[in-house]
Structure 1
């Protein structure tokens, strides 16, 4: 297989094919798709030599944290799908810092990836990223005009549903504890869904308690808000934070769910191993990674149209939310 054959199949010049395959030089998005589709249809693979594995096509992946089980599951799904397609994976993390995302993406671009899969703190800040990007998929962020291809769950609806579940257990004073909304539009959407469900039921939602995502879990102090708001239930914006909430309540001499009910989001394994198991809104994190990788391959290699895939979440009732006999 020669570059000339790819050029003929794609209907372009040899120089254009060379620029696309090397990721070097100005080429329109449409021409990139045509060349990559032609290369895929003709079974082209980079020649051996010059570093071996370095010639293997790679995809850059940005996540907020590689230690969070949610993103670890998504990364496993991404790697599984891309390895099956002969692609490697480059990983960068933002540490939930919007200011560091552009630098992290720039570092990925230095490796000339064939595509990017990005979980941003807030998709609305995408304007800060480089203007010249390969095919890009948002993972966990809603699509935006610049990045119409995305794989998400409906975090707003999930926030509504977990709140309705707790309201059905006769709780009225429900506190939402979250990492900073500026660091996660997923957390913000979950809180907005919570507020909507509270208002729907005729209750005024409490202000969210926001803490740092990176180092705020282990030493969480709930004494002040517990004294002011006296919540009978607490919703954490993710399961790791829910575990931190339970530990903080125990430090205050409170039991879960006897004194305070607790719920989270994500459905990570540690929540199911707790006693009682954590009440949570389980998310298909591994499947989302597989879907994002498959969507990227479709767009980058087969010139498919950008799509927004929204996967289903589900309630895992667990045992950390109890029925209250009356408003306390």
Structure 2
């Protein structure tokens, strides 16, 4: 069976250099690295990672837990994290939970059994979470993604969800809207949604305006016309809707069109996340942008720092409004329903 010594001999390098080419390719000169890889291909050799992991007591694996990949914000995050991790010689293991608390505990336990070196977690609820309390007593470090800092011994990377939604609501207020509703998933399904709801209320209260009853959808990222219609038919119906995430906002626009409402002619709609898909639709989606790539990079940096012995730390990144065609001012657009 071909071994590393044979690869080194064929490549014309030392065994130590051949080992470095596989273990830390960035520290080997490109020409030498390619000689080693060419020899490995010729000899059909692959390094034994498991043996190396056992010797080093490290798997070079990071576990990533997200609610789902149906929401592009998590797919975009994962892609950016994978790129950042690979630069440092790590690979990612992904698990989804569908906002199920029991499932969160199961997948984290499974990842720990696979001896991941660290965890990136987006959970349903980060406050008073028994899973996080248990993890804080483990040796495996973890970083919370999208959750705002909760405790000094937790590492978290997020945006200010409350301030971000207040910014979105204020943006609509500046366009003349005074009846602004909020659309969210079931029972404000996540702690992020609840903070965004508080931000919506903050902005209205600052202008002496009441918040409208929340329009609660049966799914976190999917709207339905039957739920929207009663809110749009009542006296003093909203002229604008803020949505707890972009995918829900896109679904709201589709359902409104199905019911004969034009966006933004009859209703303005704004989302939260800033996913790329929002710029590719018509009307383009106005959204509060989370810097997903910067967040993903910060998450990996924080986790690798903890693996190297650094103390937990938290970062709150700025967000901003991305203009879009899905909103309009109230003084130039009528809001009657299409007949």
* Cα distance in 1 between the residues matched to 2:272 and 2:189: 16
Q: Does 1:275 align with 2:275?
A: no
Map 1:146-185 onto structure 2 (within 5 A): 147-181=153-187, 183-185=189-191
Q: TM-score, normalized by length of structure 1? A: 0.80
Instruction: Give the secondary structure class of the aligned counterpart of 2:158.
Output: strand
Q: Which residue of 2 is the match for residue 142 of structure 1?
A: 148
Corresponding residue for residue 88 of structure 2: 85
Matches within 5 A, 1:103-114: 103-114=106-117
Q: Deviations over 1:144-198 (max 9, x none)?
A: 2375211000110001100000001111111100113553111111111010000
Asked whether 1:98 is paired with 2:101, we answer: yes
Q: Between 103-112 and 161-170, report the one with greater CA deviation.
A: 103-112
- Structure 1 stretch displaced more, 313-322 or 157-166: 313-322
Contact 1:75-1:286 within 8 A present in 2 as well: no
1:257 to 260, 264, 268: 264
Matched residues in 2 for 1:100 and 1:125: separation?
17
Q: How far apart, CA to CA, are the structure 2 residues paired with 1:161 and 1:198?
A: 11
Is contact 1:195-1:205 (8 Å) kept? yes
For the 8 Å contact 1:283–1:312, the answer to whether it is kept is yes
2:304 is aligned with 1:310: no
Which whole-Å CA distance do the structure 2 matches of 1:75 and 1:220 have between them? 34
Q: Report the secondary structure of 2:227's partner residue.
A: coil
Q: Distance in 2 between matches of 1:105 and 1:142?
A: 20
Q: CA deviation at 1:277?
A: 1.3
Taking CA–CA contacts closer than 8 Å with sequence separation of 6 or more, which of the two structures ends up with the larger relative contact order? 1
Asked if residue 223 in structure 1 is aligned to residue 226 in structure 2, the reply is no
Partner-residue secondary structure (3-state), 1:123: coil
Query: 1:49 offset after TM fit, Å?
Result: 5.9
Change (3 A) 1:97 1:210: farther
Q: For residue 236 of structure 1, report the CA deviation from its aligned partner.
A: 0.9
The answer to whether the 8 A contact 2:221-2:248 is kept is: no
SS of aligned partner of 1:222: helix
C-alpha contact 2:273 2:287 (8 A) present in aligned 1: yes
Q: Which has the larger radius of gyration?
A: 2
Unpaired segments ≥5 residues, structure 2:
1-23, 28-46
1:178/1:210 contact within 8 Å kept: yes
Please tell me the root mean square deviation across aligned C-alpha atoms, in Å: 2.5
